[in-house]
Structure 1
Amino acid sequence: MKTLSIASAGHPLKILCLGAHADDIEIGAGGTILGLIAAGVKLDVYWCVLSATPERALETRRSAAAFLEGAAAAVVEVCGFEDSYFPSQSREIKQFLLALRARVEPEVIFTHSRFDAHQDHQELNRLTTNVFRDHLVLEYEVPKWDGDFTERNTYVPLLPGMIERKIDLLMEHFATQRSKDWFHEDVFRGVARMRGMECRSPSLFAEAFTVRKLALV
């Protein structure tokens, strides 16, 4: 398997993290972000969650602060779009993303997968890839009862200890979700172990993404 590096220790990297709901970014790309910071990449992060109640917004900000500890720069934004109704708010969300594009210039974007069964996740993916057409977009996965897991083409092997750190932070900061059967340590560890097996990660764990377009020069 060919490996490519998006950044190395001491080098800057600007990323945009988009999540429909609190905890989405952490579940889908939290280990990757923790690993980049731990590896010494000078990470400049714009972290944006589009829907959250006041309680969930507080969880978002506390969790983002923990995941982004050690980043070179970080901005966290929590929006007020209505949970579960993103398709009916498509125009407003697109206008928001267009305004975001005018003030943020990321090198890498993390967003939801096109094949995610949740309507909010699907809509955010559709609008992200429509608005940010000239960017490297990594589509992450969020496990849920819908059974929408699919084949991925891009992997980030996690550094030793990162899966446990990711799980610890998820369980610490998202008390509102701990009663849900899918929000479980074994689920997060199991997904990462399976993806780690697929890419033969030295640590045994990995996060997986879909990349639609990539230019090699």
Structure 2
Amino acid sequence: MIRLDTGAITEIALLAAHCDDLAIGLGGTLLTLADSVPGLRVRALILTGAGTEREGEERAALESFCPGADLDVRVLDLPDGRTPVHWERAKEAVGELRRGGDPQVVFAPQRDDAHQDHRLLAELAPTEFRDHLILGYEILKWENDTPRPSLFHPLSEVVARRKAELLMKHYPSQRDHDWFDEESFLGLCRLRGVQCRARYAEAFLVEKATITFGGA
């Protein structure tokens, strides 16, 4: 596989429509970054779930997925499945997140996600984070919108299994979904691992990037 290494990463921004999107889409990557970057600055925005049990789940989950990080989580109360109607408020929230820091990497949903709430954030992310590396994550769910990713992050077996365990531990409200189980999450990680000659991996779509050959 062709390998590209990043420079130092000290801050990341996370955009999600729903509580659990981040853990599903990049839980293994968060565990890896938090372990390798002491004091990693993590700024997260979730559009829905404020004031519900899901907010509590999300805050506890992100604490576990980002151990030791400088973590700031903002959860809004936009209605699930109706966020495009609240475009202005979502746009302002993304703008506030942008003005509150300068992340080296932004993680957001990918543009071809079948869920309208996810697509809204995918469209808003580059309008505010105009000069940032944006990686679109995939969210396993009932719809058959699994993308063809262009960037893979190999995960160790320990990290992949830890991701699955934490998902089951921190999101009990989602266990009634027939696809929400450790086998599903490990299955997708195994598939992405096959596609990048690793045991497990998470995969992303690159919004836009530049490359410098031969040094900085």
For the aligned pair, the TM-score class normalised by the smaller chain equals over 0.9
2:74 partner amino acid? E
Shift of 1:59: 0.5
Aligned partners of 2:136, 2:167: CA distance in 1, in Å?
20
Q: TM-score, normalised by structure 1?
A: 0.93
* Structure 1 counterpart of 2:155: 158
* Structure 2 counterpart of 1:91: 88
Misfit runs of 4+, over 4 Å: none
Equivalent residues of 1:12, 1:41 under 8 A apart = no
- Pairing of 1:1-217 with structure 2 (within 5 A): 1-7=1-7, 11-40=8-37, 42-53=39-50, 54-71=52-69, 73-201=70-198, 204-217=199-212
Aligned partners of 1:31, 1:116: CA distance in 2, in Å?
20
- Identity percentage of aligned residues: 39
Give CA-to-partner distance per residue, 1:108-128, whole Å, 9 cap, x none.
001101011000000111011
Equivalent residues of 1:45, 1:75 under 8 A apart = yes
Shift of 1:40: 4.3
Shift of 1:42: 4.5
Q: Which runs of 5+ in 2 are unaligned?
A: none
Aligned partners of 1:12, 1:154: CA distance in 2, in Å?
17
Equivalent residues of 2:43, 2:97 under 8 A apart = no
Aligned partners of 2:155, 2:173: CA distance in 1, in Å?
27
Aligned partners of 1:105, 1:38: CA distance in 2, in Å?
21
Aligned partners of 2:72, 2:144: CA distance in 1, in Å?
33
Q: TM-score, normalised by structure 2?
A: 0.93
Q: Which runs of 5+ in 1 are unaligned?
A: none
| Structure 2 residue matching 1:52: 3-state secondary structure | coil
The alignment covers a number of residue pairs equal to: 211
Give CA-to-partner distance per residue, 1:12-70, whole Å, 9 cap, x none.
52100111000000000110110122234542111221100511001011111111112
Q: Pairwise CA RMSD of aligned residues?
A: 1.3
1:85 partner amino acid? R
1:6 partner amino acid? T
